[in-house]
A and B are shown apart, each in its own frame.
Chain A
């Protein structure tokens, strides 16, 4: 099974590498957000001291707060089209060929999950790196005010990896259960924006009405960016009811649920038809 998984993952990565336009397009969104939205929407300048710290939960500037949120958000946007690849592979017969081989559903699904998670993970770290770099180029940049130790770094990596895997699983689940690309894109659009707007990727915590803060607390993007913000900003832990490990655990729960769902749907889609 490892050989099947490796071969199918290689196929996915080769296809990705041979589509530089898709990679360039996926870079455009986070760069525009950082260069335009993040620079212009500097609400922190109207606040200062403890109020600012409360509103941004310990982040020194809105851009710093926002950068961590963007790292989580791109992990979602970069997985959006993974399910579409399943649909196009079905339309062009590639999935039929793979399903006719002895490859197991777990290998077929797993290879797409692995390859599909690599890009968002890479993009999320690129966003963090670019946000820090902007600060050295005379623009507003990400200010890391905490000393990130090994544990903190591992927690940040885990948060981004688990978030990427979770959303890759979700969109693969949709891809394996829908046949028409138009339907897929409609469903994905219906999910994408509500997921973003019920998280704290962009909103300052302190501005949220109570009900939205409650909803956002369980949002997987929120869980991931909480881990990032607690580790990146000194004193942030005082504003969060739980430590990063708790948020990681919640995020892991989301990922397990999505992964099981997607595996079941993939197995059903690849099983002999009834």
Chain B
């Protein structure tokens, strides 16, 4: 191999594997910083194995992967057998093509269509909670089958087609022939099909996301839903472990000698066969053990189930020896119910998570989730109430409601006669800046984000509502009732700011600010504090407008009960809400989430105050606390009317596209490339036609 070839190959490998190498490296980092390696430690691995929710998700993922891949392997192998033995070649090819289509299909199409089907069938048979383990299992089996067929088919094709005949000839019945002769020839295809199905099932996110119901969370869904907060380094550890296991599986599948369907020229010796058989046995023994363990752990008594649907990383979950709020509720409520009913009642909280209000809305609206408690944000609560998708709470069942501060009892989104929601947390946007580079005299308002002194080190939200919000707060425009002219003004401000902005970011804000790559950015108070914890040069303030009034976004997340929940289940849900308002879980959750808590049991608790230390005055800044009602009434984002929403999207696009020669360049380059490809294809076709012209019609038809 030439030297340049070697370098090229090396570069490709670096490109492919560097991210994984970094991931593995940082899984051993002793601090949770993402930009510096503080020292070697197994801390995150330890943390991973003490994180009950993640382990549960891992267990779920494994059960799902094993069951679905075993079922898919059996069905797929039988299908391949059938297809292989089809006499009519046209039908055979058609079936194979049909088999391949689902693999080409975008996963999102598969996922959504599956969900629709399940909901439709669920309605037909009048089942209240359609989606669940069963549906996601069916979905996984369905998308795995084509891959098994695809990996078994070539083995059938490679097999001497006289082998089954030889078996019949020597006295085998067709079944014996399959079992004794054909099976050993295709076993490596079966194993690699199984492994492929297994790995696909393990890391599937999209299809699971649409077909999964309450009470069952797989690992990819859990990791994805962590994005409300930051992805913690124990996820690096988990990813590293998953990567390693997949690597081992791949090695095993290579070991069985089935390298991606390439026809084996060399005959396979019996020794290799024997080795394969051992691998085969080992794989299945492993499956048997795990499945067995899982089955044993699922024997139950009478069980009351509460299905909770919350943001990711939004409850104290027992990790790091902390208080496990859900577990505590299960124990507490099981005791209460057992006493009440006179026999042992098991309580089980099925806790699953989502990543955006819109996702939550879609699930609630389609009525497939079967959730008892949900935690939407302010504007979404307002919308759910308006559309009748949540039901009024019976406050008699939630005595702890009295501990909610008065300012938070009737917020703008739920201030009617009935009470539909109990506030869980709230957060206020502030500005984070680096004290090393930013002068004290420049801080105080939103104009810091427009300060030309810090050009190239300013971060702006990569989200239309928040970005426009910052300009509107600065200009004193009402974010909910702005006229088109006012929207245009805000756009002009953002256009003016654009040359100063380093980048438009969401979660990247953590890295950019902690690494001092950028100096100024806006984010929620609780998150700002965790950044300051990682880099002491950072500081934080709540911006005021030119009138000296606090002008910034506030959000609240509140617990609600969807309309479909039965009388009986609603009592349990209310018990859950009530429990979360009681002292111990409320404090644990507040400490874990690190956002503002509206519960006086928390805010007046000396331990909590001590735990927060200086941060207490940031989160519960007395000046801010005095103005909470103003913030809620004037600055919180409300649902925009559709015409304003469309305007916002248009203006946001205008901002992003405006005068950006780079983007235009991309269009031009892609256009040129596309034209080039089309041109080349046309050229090839014309050349082919020209070459054929002379002889094409003169060639006699041959059979």
Are A and B co-members of a single complex?
no
Which B residues are closer than 8 A to A by beta carbons?
Answer: none
